[in-house]
Structure 1
Amino acid sequence: MRITTNALLRNYKNNLATTINSLNNSRTHVMTQRSFNSVAEDPFSAARASQLHRKYYSNQDNLSMLKDVQSRQDGQEDALRQVSDIVKTISKEYNVQAMNGTNQTKETRQSYASAIRQFQKSMVLSLNSTYEDTFLFAGTDGSNPPFKLTDNGTLTYRGVDVDAAKGTADYSTLYSYSKENLYVDLGMGLSLDDSNQVVPSSAFNLSLPGIKAIGFGKDEDGVSNNAIVLAGQLADTLEAEEFDPEAYRKLMGKFETLSDGLLNQITELGVKSSFLTTTKDRLENTEISLQEQMESVEGVDMAEAITNYMWNQYAYNAALKVGTSILSPSFIDFMK
């Protein structure tokens, strides 16, 4: 069989191109530390890697949302603790002292009343606190301050008087506000029921309506269930021309009861915070697991990759040396 120079050169160029391609692929694997760099190289692994990446980024979104929810809930807890501390201060410092006979002068009671009214305003400010331009205790209407205390002592929540009597439209509105939910997906399998409503167990409720925390309406004796309004009534009693110790004692007793309600809300927030911490640990463990799975699918054994690269580099150098012998002088070179 006759082998021409052209055939020899053609075969050499094809083999050299194959060697260069192998060298380039092995070099790419070493530089990228990936076992494949295109779907065509390994379709099955590429499909699996795509699924893992979707899960990973979804988990990252859940982690980011959870951290945001934690910060928001920390703000809620701090604000409620401020209100609770104010309520405790009023109960401790302005209960026994105001009832003490030596302190029942008009001027002394007036100073107590002024202090309580300042505390009253402080409670409103705490419950109107924000997180990233969102009012923490406004329920589903986070763009507007929920509480407003008028000069005559009337407190409104989202425009509704918190002292609304039972059976009225305003009371029903306040009740519906107190039951508002604001669900977020934290990777618990968010799902909807037959009524297209979020299943509570599949999402996290970050809503805490301020009206639920501070109370609304009146009891059977006509005494306000709201701690802020009640503080104002304590101040009114102290400022009266004729101080009524019995009425003040009754209001203060109710005030201390509302203090227990605030503590219950803070405890509930603490339970939710513990749940968020547990969920965060789970999501972080999931992140590590997904990273390991992606590494096993996409990653390359560096020792093997470097060995292949060195071998292909050696093969390429050898191919270049073979080329020098192929391109040795031919019959044409000896023609005169």
Structure 2
Amino acid sequence: MRITTSAIIRDYKANLSASINNLNVSRTHVMTQRSFNSTAEDPASAARASQLHRKYYKNQDNLKMLEEVQARQDGQEDALRQISDMVKNISKNYNIQALNGTNQTKEVRQSYASAIRQFQQSMVLSLNSSYEETFLFAGSDGKNSPFELTSDGTLNYRGIDVNSAKGSADYDKLKTLSNENLYVDLGMGLSMDDFDQVVSSSAFNMSLPGINAIGYGVDEKGMSNNIVVMAGKLADSLEAETFDADQFRDLMNKFDTLGTNLMNQITELGVKSEFLTTTKDRLDNADISIQEQMSGVEGVDMAEAITNYMWDQYAYNSALKVGTSILSSSFIDFMR
């Protein structure tokens, strides 16, 4: 068969184009360090990579959420520790001293009462602390300050007197508010039950209603179960015209018991912080694992990629030299 010059040139152009394309692909692999840069190159790997990317970004979201939850909980713990320090200060420097016979003059008791009321105000400020415009101890209503101390010494939580007696409608409301939950997904497989409620074991509850930490209601003796209110009662007792040491001692014992309950709440926060630390370690390990899988699916062996690139570069240069020998001769050259 007769092979014409145009056929040779046509085949040469097609092969040169393929050589250029191969060179471009291998160059791209080296530059991007990826085994493919479009779905068409490797559909199976591209599908697998898409799944891994979704897992990776979901894990990143969980890590970011965990950091926010940890920061929020750190704020809660700091505020409660501040209150606990105030409670210890009152018990150590004012309660015991007030029972000392030499300190039972009206003026001294008045100074003690003023100091305790200052601590009481500071406790409320700590309980109304916020993190990123969200009140830490407001339960599920993080946009409104939860506590209000009125001029007559009444402490309200979300508009309800914390000294409400057991069995009353307000007490039932406080009990409901104390059980509020605020769940967040930290990669534990968030799921819902048959009643469209979050399964508690599948999420993290970051809600901490303030009345759980400082108490609410009254006991069988009529004493408040709230440590802030009890601080006010101590001040009232010290300001009385006639100081009743026995009554003050009872108030002090109750105050110390509530201080112990507060420390228990701080301990529970520490346990939750330890859980968050463990969860972060798990998410960090998952992050490393997913990145390794992504590298195995998308990454290239750089030694092999560079070798392929050098070979394609050699093939392309050879093709150019062959083209020079083909194009340099023409029909006119053979008419001599």
For the aligned pair, the TM-score class normalised by the smaller chain equals over 0.9
- State the partner residue of 1:15: 15
Provide Cα deviations, 1:14-56, integer angstroms capped at 9, x if missing partner.
1101100100000010011000000010010000000000000
- State the partner residue of 2:105: 105
AA paired with 1:229? V
Give the CA deviation at 1:334. 5.0
Cα separation, 2, equivalents of 1:243 and 1:330 = 124
- State the partner residue of 1:311: 311
Provide the identity percentage: 76
Cα separation, 1, equivalents of 2:195 and 2:335 = 96
Q: Secondary structure at the match of 2:91?
A: helix
Give the CA deviation at 1:95. 1.9
Pairwise mapping of residues 1-336 of structure 1 onto structure 2 (< 5 A)? 1-333=1-333, 335=335
Q: Unaligned regions of 5+ residues in structure 1, if any?
A: none
Q: TM-score, normalised by structure 2?
A: 0.99
Provide Cα deviations, 1:219-251, integer angstroms capped at 9, x if missing partner.
000000000000001000100001111110111
Give the CA deviation at 1:92. 1.2
AA paired with 2:75? G
Cα separation, 2, equivalents of 1:96 and 1:46 = 73
Cα separation, 2, equivalents of 1:296 and 1:109 = 75
Q: TM-score, normalised by structure 1?
A: 0.99
Cα separation, 2, equivalents of 1:173 and 1:255 = 24
Q: Between Structure 1 and Structure 2, how many residues are aligned? A: 336
Cα separation, 1, equivalents of 2:77 and 2:334 = 97
Q: Secondary structure at the match of 1:156?
A: strand
Provide Cα deviations, 1:88-124, integer angstroms capped at 9, x if missing partner.
1111111221011111000000000000000000000
Q: Secondary structure at the match of 2:139?
A: coil
AA paired with 1:277? T
AA paired with 2:305? A
Cα separation, 1, equivalents of 2:191 and 2:139 = 22
Q: Secondary structure at the match of 1:151?
A: coil
Q: Secondary structure at the match of 1:148?
A: strand
Q: Secondary structure at the match of 1:95?
A: helix
Q: Unaligned regions of 5+ residues in structure 2, if any?
A: none
Give the CA deviation at 1:335. 4.5
Provide Cα deviations, 1:309-335, integer angstroms capped at 9, x if missing partner.
000000000000000111123223454
Q: Secondary structure at the match of 1:327?
A: helix
